[in-house]
A and B are shown apart, each in its own frame.
Chain A
Amino acid sequence: AQSVAQPEDQVNVAEGNPLTVKCTYSVSGNPYLFWYVQYPNRGLQFLLKYITGDNLVKGSYGFEAEFNKSQTSFHLKKPSALVSDSALYFCAVRDRTSGTYKYIFGTGTRLKVLA
C-alpha cells in the first residue's frame, strides 16, 4: 500500500534561517507527491507538487521541495523562514489502485518559526 511518513511532529527554526520539513514515501510506480499547509481554523492550502520532470519543485510563498527517488523523499524547504510560515504542514501521495485514485496524507509537521 502507498504511504507517506512525516518523521517530525514539530520543527522549530529561527526567523531568517533555512527550514526543512521532512517527508518520505512508499509507492509502487511513479509517485505523485504534494505539500499542503494548514493555518489555524482554516482548510488546507496547496503549496507545490511533483508529478514528473525536474527534481526541484518551486511552489507558493517561496517554498520548494526536492524529489529524491533513491531516498524516497520529498522534503519541503525554504531558504529563509518567516514567522508567518508557522503552521501545520502535510505531505501527501496519490495512491492509484484498481483504476481509481485517492490521496494519502501524512500525520503533519508543526512548523514554529521563532522571532
Chain B
Amino acid sequence: EAGVAQSPRYKIIEKRQSVAFWCNPISGHATLYWYQQILGQGPKLLIQFQNNGVVDDSQLPKDRFSAERLKGVDSTLKIQPAKLEDSAVYLCASSLDLAGVNEQFFGPGTRLTVL
C-alpha cells in the first residue's frame, strides 16, 4: 500500500513569511497527526484529527499555526508568520484506529528552515 505522502520535502523562508505543508495519509486511516521535530528532540504533537474533527490541538501555537483536514482525508498545516524557532522537521502520520492501539505510519517529513 502507498505510504503517507508529504510535500514539500524542504522549504526555506524568511522570518515573518508564511508557509504551508501538505499531507496525504494512507487510505482509510481515520486518525491523522502533525508533529514538530526539532533537531535533537523527539516528535511533539501539534494537532490530531479523527476523520475531519480535531481531537487534540493543545500544543498548537494557534496565534500562528493552523491546520485543517478536508473531507477527512488530506491535511494542510500552515504557519503565518514564521519565526526562527519554527525551524524543524514537520512530520505527518496516520493510523487506522480511533483508540491509539494501532501503530502510526509516518511520512518523510518537511524540513523547514526559517532565516
Which residue numbers of A lie inside 8 Å of B, CB to CB? 32, 34, 36, 41-46, 49, 51, 90, 92, 94, 96, 100-108
Which residue numbers of B lie inside 8 Å of A, CB to CB? 4, 33, 40-45, 48, 55-56, 91, 93, 99-101, 103-109
User: Across chains A and B, which 9 residue pairs bring their CB atoms closest together, nearest first?
Assistant: A43-B106, A105-B42, A46-B103, A101-B100, A44-B106, A94-B100, A105-B43, A107-B42, A43-B108
Most buried by A among B103, B106, B107, B109: B103
Count A-B pairs with CB separation below 8 Å.
57
- State whether A90 touches B103 (Cβ < 8 A): no
**Which residues of chain A are near B105, meaning CB under 8 Å?**
46
Task: Give Cα A49–Cα B72 distance, bound, in whole angstroms.
Answer: 27
Residue of A nearest to B10 (CB): A41
A44 with B91: in contact, given A90-B43, A103-B45, A106-B42 (CB under 8 Å)?
yes
Name 18 extra pairs, CB < 8 A, besides A32-B100, A41-B108. A32-B101, A34-B103, A42-B109, A43-B4, A43-B91, A43-B109, A44-B43, A44-B91, A44-B93, A44-B104, A90-B42, A90-B43, A100-B48, A100-B55, A102-B48, A103-B100, A107-B40, A108-B40
Q: How far apart are A90's CB and chain B's nearest CB, in angstroms?
A: 6
Task: Give Cα A101–Cα B4 distance, bound, in whole angstroms.
Answer: 21
Residue of A nearest to B91 (CB): A43
Task: Give Cα A45–Cα B55 distance, bound, in whole angstroms.
Answer: 23
Task: Give Cα A51–Cα B99 distance, bound, in whole angstroms.
Answer: 12
